[in-house]
Amino acid sequence: MDVDSLPEWLGHQPLIETVQLQLTPPHLGDNTADLDRLLRVLRQQGYQDIQVHPLRIGQLAEQIRQSRYQVSAVLGFTPCHWELLDVKAGTGPVAPLAFAIDLGSSRLAFYLLDLDQGRIIAQESVANPQIPHGEDILSRINYARDAKARQNLQGLLIDSFNDTMGRMLAELGLAAADVYAVATAGNTTMSHFLLGLDASGICREPYIPVANQLPWLHAQDLGLQVFDRALVYVFPNVGSYFGGDLIAGILASGMHRSGEINILVDVGTNAEVVVGNRDWLIACAGAAGPALEGGVVERGMMANPGAIDRVRIDPQSLEPHFSVLGGKKPLGICGSGLIDLVAEMFGAGILTIQGKINTGLESPRIVTTADGPAYVVAFANETDDGQDLQVSEIDIGILLKSKAAMYTILNVITRKVGVGFGDLKHFYVAGSFGNHIDPAMAVRIGMMPDLPLAIYQGLGNTAGRGAAMVLLDRSLIGEIERICRQITYVELNVNMELMNEFRGALFLPHTDPSLFPSVNIPERAYAKGG
Which positions lie near its own copies, rule CB under 8 A?
26-36, 39, 49, 51-55, 57-58, 61-62, 65, 80-81, 195-198, 201, 205-217, 221, 237, 239-240, 491, 493
Return the number of the residue (217 or 440) whose C-beta is nearest its own copies: 217
> Whole-angstrom Cα distance, residue 463 to residue 184?
8
Contacts for 44 with CB less than 8 Å, ≥ 6 apart: none
| Cβ atoms of residues 342 and 351 within 8 Å | yes
Smallest gap from residue 189 Cβ to its own copies (A): 12
Return the number of the residue (221 or 260) whose C-beta is nearest its own copies: 221
Report which of 155, 105, 144, 100 is spatially closest to residue 127, judged by C-alpha positions: 105
Provide φ and ψ at 56, rounded to 5°. Answer: -110, -10
The number of CA neighbours under 13 Å toward the Cβ of 194 is 31
Smallest gap from residue 65 Cβ to its own copies (A): 8
DSSP state of 346: H
Distance of CA 42 to the CA centre of its chain: 38
Smallest gap from residue 209 Cβ to its own copies (A): 4
Smallest gap from residue 179 Cβ to its own copies (A): 18
Return the number of the residue (197 or 267) whose C-beta is nearest its own copies: 197
| Amino acid in position 99 | F
E strands present in 95-195: 97-103, 107-114, 119-127, 179-186
Return the number of the residue (71 or 261) whose C-beta is nearest its own copies: 71
Return the number of the residue (27 or 148) whose C-beta is nearest its own copies: 27
Report which of 504, 528, 517 is spatially closest to residue 349, judged by C-alpha positions: 528
| Cβ atoms of residues 304 and 328 within 8 Å | no
If DSSP codes are grouped into helix, strand and coil, which group holds residue 35?
helix
Return the number of the residue (225 or 352) whose C-beta is nearest its own copies: 225
Rounded (to 5) percent helix, strand, coil in the chain: 35, 25, 35
> Whole-angstrom Cα distance, residue 242 to residue 281?
13
Smallest gap from residue 394 Cβ to its own copies (A): 33
| Cβ atoms of residues 308 and 324 within 8 Å | yes
Smallest gap from residue 515 Cβ to its own copies (A): 31
Smallest gap from residue 60 Cβ to its own copies (A): 9
Return the number of the residue (260 or 491) whose C-beta is nearest its own copies: 491
| Cβ atoms of residues 357 and 529 within 8 Å | yes
Smallest gap from residue 195 Cβ to its own copies (A): 7
Return the number of the residue (416 or 524) whose C-beta is nearest its own copies: 416
